[in-house]
Amino acid sequence: MADRLIITLAQLNQQVGDLAANADAMRRVRAQSPDSDLIVFPEMQLIGYPPEDLILKPALIARAAQDLESLARETADGGPAMLVGSVFVRDGALHNGVALLEGGRIAAVRFKYELPNYGTFDEKRYFLPGPLPEPVLFKGVMLGLPICEDIWHPDVCRHLAQLGAEIFICVNGSPYEIDKGVLRIDGVAKRRSGDTGIPLVFVNRVGGQDEVVFDGASFVVGPEGALWVQAPDWEEAVIRTEWNRVRSGNSLRWRCTAGDVHDLAEHPEDIYCAMVLALRDYVDKNRFPGVVLGLSGGIDSAITAAIAVDALGAERVWCVMLPSRYTSQESLDDAAACAALLGTRLDTIPIEPAVDGFATMLAPAFAGRAPDLAEENLQSRIRGTTLMALSNKFGPMLVTTGNKSEMSVGYATIYGDMNGGYNPLKDAYKTTIFAISRWRNTRRPKIGRGPDGPVMPDTVITKPPSAELRPDQKDSDSLPDYAVLDAILNNLIEQERSVDQIVGEGFDRPTVERIERLVNLAEYKRRQAPPGVKLGSRNFGRDRRYPITHGFRTA
């Protein structure tokens, strides 16, 4: 029976479906950790998470089984054992599980018991739950192996403790959400450990996968509430932890030697890092050479350009100013200043020739009609078409710059400024955009590749927002002040509150009713919007799935 263990926590990125690359990454960690007894990898690290309907392909299931057997055989060399998450088939059903690879074989397999089926998770679509798991005996130590959601409910850890588990090792694919880090540690892990008297290891992945991003931040907690180890967030890390069996009262218990406790990103740096890492991995994993975006001189495009530079480096970001007759000199100057501060390429392509061409072409059809929203939207669509042409011709992905406030009420032009392959601002309200812009102008994110100093002139943050599609246009002409609008939207979308409830909080009824109407009308636009990183609990896409056509109103 061992009285000392070296357990290595491998907080890794992954590529969904690229089993060979994921397996090789695990091999590299194993080769670099020869003195470890056990190396722990995140949930479903072999195939990537979330796999969505890719996991329904029989060829993927067969390849996963082959690669897992290959990894298992390699442990016959007497080196470290591995805990590897993958998909398993039992009696014709798929299971999300973890395998202990030891001594050249798959020594044990345990299945996930609690299958999340809310928000970003659709696990009941793919998997059957396993039975309540039993501990796994490893070097004479009883290891409890709850998987991700299993620790968010008490039953699995309680059951494992009753069967003699001595250490909980929980593998995770836990996506980032605002304030979720504190909830994981204080609200879940410490509670499970304290209730059972058993220390808990939490290993999470890091990196972007389409609309979700994983922040890492793996940790180890003790039953007395101590945080023994805290891995960094937003970057890969391989953490060596040392465990010893020590006497506690009349019994022997396992204790982790206190290690590094890294400071995690505070608000709003966490939001900014989520945007940066999500965009970086989306661009790199889809093999784009870089990105192109329209730089208007406004705050949304300015912070998007900063995110892109922090994600990819200035040399991979191409900014384009697309002025019209309504573009102010201040906007031209601010766009140029943003590009100079960030060190990006900036080209200027006036859209007036195309506007005039469309005006001439449409004149017979528009005869007798005064200019209105159609002409305004046409400018946006010309810009969108121009940027897509640059993307097609030269290869960079077009980044979209619309925020959640605009997307909520339809204050965006479909096939215009909504064009693009990815939108890092998609789940960020306008008030959040102001907050992260002020923060980024004074601080550089821990994972950023951009400049240390300011990334935009202060005038970009302080001037009244405007689409500049007609003379003297301001966003406030069509929408409430953003502080009011975002508060109403938070109630309608994040909290799912009714008009009467929101009015009861002191908001103007006609305004609330109008905003609810706009949110409902804009659903068809959001269905056609590019993907974007999830930040909160109710992002458009994976979390909030409303019918386009429906007649229910809360007022």
Q: Which residues are the active-site residues?
A: 43, 112, 148
Quote the CA–CA distance of 200 and 143 in Å, as a whole number.
10
State how far the Cα of 98 lies from the Cα of 375, in Å rounded to an integer.
57
Query: Which structure tokens are listed for 325?
Result: 């007759």
Query: Please, are residues 24 and 54 in contact by the beta-carbon 8 Å criterion?
Result: no
CA 130 to chain centroid, in Å, comes to 28
Query: Which neighbouring-strand residues pair with 11?
Result: 237
| H helix count then E strand count, the chain | 18, 19
The torsion region of residue 497 among left (phi > 0), alpha (psi -120 to 50) and beta comes to: beta
Which residues on adjacent β-strands are paired with residue 276?
A: none
**What is the rounded distance in angstroms from the CA atom of residue 550 to the CA atom of residue 555?**
14
Beta strand spans in 73-195 (E): 81-90, 93-102, 105-111, 136-138, 141-144, 167-172
Phi/psi of residue 169, each to 5°? -120, 110
- Beta strand 397-398 with 4-11 is unpaired
Comparing CA positions, the residue from 292, 270, 547 lying closest to residue 401 is: 292
Q: How far is the C-alpha of 62 from the C-alpha of 68, rounded, in Å?
A: 10
Among residues 496, 493, 483, 484, the alpha carbon closest in space to that of 536 is found at 493
- Residues in CB range of 411: below 8 A, 6 or more apart: 405, 475, 478, 479
Q: Nearest-CA neighbor of 387 among 425, 344, 420, 422? A: 420
The pair of structure tokens assigned to 102 is 């030891």
8 A C-beta contact, residue 394 and residue 500? no
State the DSSP H helix or E strand holding residue 244, giving kind and residue range, or none if neither. strand 237-248
Radius of gyration of the chain (CA): 26
